[in-house]
Structure 1
Amino acid sequence: QIFPTMTVLENLEMGAQFPRGREALKQTLELVFSYFPALNERLKQKAGTLSGGEQQMLAMGRGLMSRPALLMLDEPSLGLAPILVSTIFEIIRQIHEQGRSILLIEQNVYHALNLSNRGYVLENGRVVLSGVSKELLENPHIRKTYLGL
C-alpha cells in the first residue's frame, strides 16, 4: 500500500521509522534508488499518479527504508504486466543477495520457487506441500496444478 496523495519522497520518508540522522536517511534513499532508479526521477510526483509497477516499487522501497532484518512481501507481482513481474523478481533477488531475509507470499509459483530457498504450498488455507524450492519445482503435483506442465 502507498499513500496516493503524498509524493514519492514523502512515502519513502514515511518508511524510515526513527531515522538515524540525515546522513543515514540519505544512504538509505540511495540504496532504494539503486534498486528502483525510476523513483528517483519522480520524487515530487504524487504516488497515486504512478503506474501499477511504479507503485509496487514504491511500496517495496518504503519497506526497505527502515532497513528491516526481514522484508515481508505480499503478492509483489499482483496486477503487473509480465515484463514488470520479471523486473520485480530480479530486484527481490538482488535484495536477498545483499543479505536481506525475505518472506514472500506469491501466487506466481514459478517465480516464487525459482527465487526462494524453501517453499510452502497452501490450498484453502492449509499447507499441502513444503520443502526445498528446487525440489518443489520438480514435484508432479505442482508441475501439473500450478505450472500447467
Structure 2
Amino acid sequence: MLPSIAVDELEVRLLRDGARAPARSRPGDAGHDLACVEPVALSPGARAKVPTGVAIALPDGVCGLVVPRSGLAARHGVVPALGLIDPNFRGELCVTLMNTGEEPFAAQAGDRIAQLLLVPFWAPALTVVDELPPSPDDRGADGWGSSGR
C-alpha cells in the first residue's frame, strides 16, 4: 500500500544571487519551471551541467523528476537528461542540459531550461525469488513489440 502524502507547501532555498524559486507558469500545470543562474552556450551535440541556484526539501515518499520544457525541446532540440531528485537530497538542483538540435543554443541567466515534476513513489523491500508468479494475462516474458503494431 502506498503511503498517504499530504503536503501543501514545498520548502525552497535560494542559494545564489539571481536564483528563482521553481514556479508553475499557469494554475494547474504539473511541472514547476527551473531557471538557470548562469548563462549557458551549447553547440550541437554538446551537454553541460547547469546550476539553478535552488535547493528543495522533498517530503518522504516524494521524488522530483527533471523533465523537458516542450517548447524548448520542439523549437531548439534542447532537453535535460532525465534527473531523479531523492527526498533526502538537500543540495543545489542542477540540470544536465543537452543540445540535440542542429544549431548552437544559448540561454541567459534567468531563462527557464527544464521542469521539476513532483512524483509520489513506492520503495518496498525487495525479495529475491527462484520464480515469479505468472502474469495475469498471456504476455509472460514477451517484450517490446509483442502486442503487434
Give the TM-score normalised by structure 1: 0.25
Q: Which has the higher strand share?
A: 2
Higher relative contact order (CA 8 A, sep 6+): 2
Give the TM-score normalised by structure 2: 0.25
Q: Which has the higher helix share?
A: 1
Over alpha carbons, which structure has the higher Rg? 2
